[in-house]
Amino acid sequence: MADRTLKVGFIGCGRISRLYTDIYTGLCDVAQVVAVADVVPGLAQSRAAAMSEGYQAEAHRQQALTHNARSEADRQRALQAAADAAAAANNTIRVYENHERLLADDEVEAVVVLTAPPVRGVPAVAAAQSGRHVFTEGPMAKSVEEADEIVAAVEAAGVKYLSQCGGRYTRGMEHARRALASGLLGPLAKASVAVTGYHPASYWGEHGWPGRFETDGGGVALHHGRYVIDPFLSVTNAPIVEVASSYSGPFLREIEVDSYSLALVRYADGAVGTVEASLLHHEHPERAHGRMEFIGANASMLLLHRHPQPNVPALLMGARESMFESTVTFGSSNTAGVVKQLEALADDLGDLPESPSQLDQSRLWVTAILEDKPLPVPISVPRAHVGLSRAIYKAQEIGASVALPLDTNDPYYTFEGRLSRPSWMPTGPTD
């Protein structure tokens, strides 16, 4: 058990909070949920009951493990985990009707914001301004304006902020970041990313996502694609300064937001590339969920990003052990020895998880708070993802290139800018 446990409050007790109930029962050695809040009557009370029952179940599970332990060390770990979970179960979780009431609770040190994307910014800013550490579900914000408000509040308060995106924290992703930072690839000509998945037309509605900007904040570029696009932005050295063109919208789906998005981009260092995000790609054994490619003067780097389990959507919505995995490879046709040098950059990364889980991601945030150490990926990365997504939407809508960063008076900097369906775009559904 840690020297102390972080006292956590949940803001938002809807569907995704079921996953975080599972996550936080697995974190009872370092964190304890002491309060929950939701504006919908009954949701917070139900979540508090589920959290208490989860702690009780974890205590019983760990107690059972003590009888099956293979070593005395394993038995002692299980005993301690059982004691931690039992202590959490004995605590009464306080229930509040809104985030303001929860933030008035002096015991709450950190908050986990689990509201729908369009209403995530207000409680996140308020929590940071009150001096609480903040974890939010992804994406970070519905607009660049809102993302900048969160950044300003977090930096002014000096609190730890993390937006959910487990793919950032794989060993392979850190290897890729080192490779780009080393300069060994040489000047880049191309940096591209593609995230390809599939959701049937029935997904919008059945799973609580109506496919509207007002409820979802955005589509595949902003929301579903962040699992690969956000980590990609954490790897690249130079910021994207132009979306030269984009095709983004509700291809084959009767929704407002984008089901497919393809953009041509330019970086500050002169490299170009594509950013592709799709919910239309049917499963195929030869295709990874995510792909990043970097082509430099001395070498190229290919990163394949996967969820190393079957039935990924179900796992992502309901299991704390769902994982992310990145495989990095290098090639060179003109620079002897550079591939070995690039591969050697991972030699001291053995302590990083190869396939971190949803549970590992939350533990990373909690540990950073308790040990007062920096998080491995700065807040500027999820902010850049929001800015890129909104620029992609604008480039589609106006049919012209868009410079980044967006001006503060731009309707796509705020949440005013939208997508419309052009007459040429194919309609659906086609399931």
Torsion angles phi and psi, residue 119, rounded to 5: -120, 30
Answer whether 137's CB lies under 8 Å from 16's CB. yes
Torsion angles phi and psi, residue 213, rounded to 5: -60, -40
Question: Would you state the pLDDT for residue 1?
Answer: 46
The residues facing 295 across adjacent strands are 190, 300
Q: Which residue from 354, 265, 267, 370 is spatially nearest to 5, judged by alpha carbons?
A: 370
Distances (CA, A) of 281 to 108, 256, 263, 286, 307: 43, 19, 17, 12, 16
Going by the DSSP 8-state scheme, the letter that residue 87 receives in this structure is: H
Answer whether 79's CB lies under 8 Å from 49's CB. no
Q: Which residue from 118, 163, 110, 120 is spatially nearest to 138, judged by alpha carbons?
A: 163
Amino acid at 35: A
Q: Where are the alpha helices (DSSP H) in 26-71?
A: 43-66
Answer whether 221's CB lies under 8 Å from 194's CB. no
Common-topology check for domains 6-165 and 167-354+380-403: no
Question: Would you state the pLDDT for residue 308?
Answer: 60
Blockwise average pLDDT, block size 10, the chain, 431 residues: 84 94 93 97 96 93 88 89 88 96 98 94 98 96 98 98 93 97 98 95 80 94 95 96 98 96 98 98 87 98 79 49 87 98 96 89 96 96 98 98 98 97 86 56
Going from N- to C-terminal start, the domains of the chain cover: 6-165, 167-354+380-403
For the chain, the straight-line distance linking the first and the last C-alpha, in angstroms and rounded, comes to 50
Answer whether 332's CB lies under 8 Å from 345's CB. no
| Residue 94 structure tokens | 């306080």
Cα–Cα distance measured from residue 163 to residue 176, given in angstroms and rounded to the nearest whole number: 21
Q: Percentage helix, strand, coil, to 5, in the chain?
A: 40, 20, 40
| Residue 224 structure tokens | 């579903």
Question: Would you state the pLDDT for residue 141?
Answer: 96
Number of residues in the chain: 431
Judge: domain 167-354+380-403, CATH 3.30.70.260.
no
Question: Would you state the pLDDT for residue 430?
Answer: 55
Cα–Cα distance measured from residue 385 to residue 390, given in angstroms and rounded to the nearest whole number: 9
Question: Would you state the pLDDT for residue 431?
Answer: 56
Cα–Cα distance measured from residue 368 to residue 135, given in angstroms and rounded to the nearest whole number: 12
Question: Would you state the pLDDT for residue 314?
Answer: 41
Q: Where are the alpha helices (DSSP H) in 183-252?
A: 203-206, 213-216, 226-235
Distances (CA, A) of 301 to 66, 169, 354: 46, 18, 18
Dihedral-angle region of residue 267 (phi above 0 means left; psi in -120 to 50 means alpha; beta otherwise): beta
| Residue 75 structure tokens | 């038995």
| Residue 41 structure tokens | 């009557």
Fold of 6-165: Rossmann fold (3.40.50)
Q: Element (H or E) spanning 390, and its range?
A: helix 380-398
Omega of the bond leading into 310 within 30 degrees of 0 (cis): no
Question: Would you state the pLDDT for residue 317?
Answer: 42
Question: Would you state the pLDDT for residue 425?
Answer: 95
Answer whether 250's CB lies under 8 Å from 258's CB. yes
Q: Where are the alpha helices (DSSP H) in 96-163?
A: 99-103, 121-129, 144-157
Mutual angle of helices 72-89 and 43-66, in 10-degree steps: 160
